[in-house]
A and B are shown apart, each in its own frame.
Chain A
């Protein structure tokens, strides 16, 4: 069965600190997609990144970076020099769309990040 674990329920950091959000996933399939979504206090879901299982290259986008390690089934997300606007709940997610051709996405429980000014 597929599962996404985000062990950190809540994290608080002071502005400008770096913070890493952990994500561990389980799947029996060799082909899958991994995602991160952000849910700010206003409630909408903001797509951040999708990575397919064939591509283990780390990715950097501005202050955001992602570390995909297939050997440990982890897809961690780091925010560098955090800002108050980064305060949100962050969801890691898994999809077997490569197998099913549609996005039945399994979400983790989320990590609530508070950035304190």
Chain B
């Protein structure tokens, strides 16, 4: 009965490198959300994906950030050419279609990205 699994738990990257964050949704879930928590702040919505489709990416920075949720495998949040300002905790949540009416989002434990 595993929950949402995120890895790695901690990720350190130097400026200019790429960061890849993975999220495996709960079993049977085909929708994934990514949220970002900057230091000392609340979580901010980034993107909502269904299998092979981006539904709402209104919270994604225009450059360097991308997300995917392929037919097979985990969802990936990719940050290219990281900068210090990308240091944050990135949380993933998953749901079934229409689940928003029935139950709240449950989040993974997050990936803490540190850019040095």
Contacts and interface: CB of A to CB of B under 8 A. Distances in A.
Interface string A61-100: 0000000000000000000000000000001010101101
A27 to B, nearest CB: 15
Interface stretch (B21-29, B36-44, B65-73, B77-85): B36-44
A83 B56 CA distance: 40
B27 to A, nearest CB: 18
Given A100-B100, A102-B55, 14 more contacts: A35-B104, A44-B107, A47-B104, A91-B42, A97-B101, A98-B101, A102-B56, A103-B95, A105-B45, A106-B45, A107-B35, A107-B42, A109-B42, A110-B42
Interface of B: 31, 33, 35, 41-45, 48, 55-56, 89, 91, 93, 95, 98, 100-101, 103-107, 109-110, 112
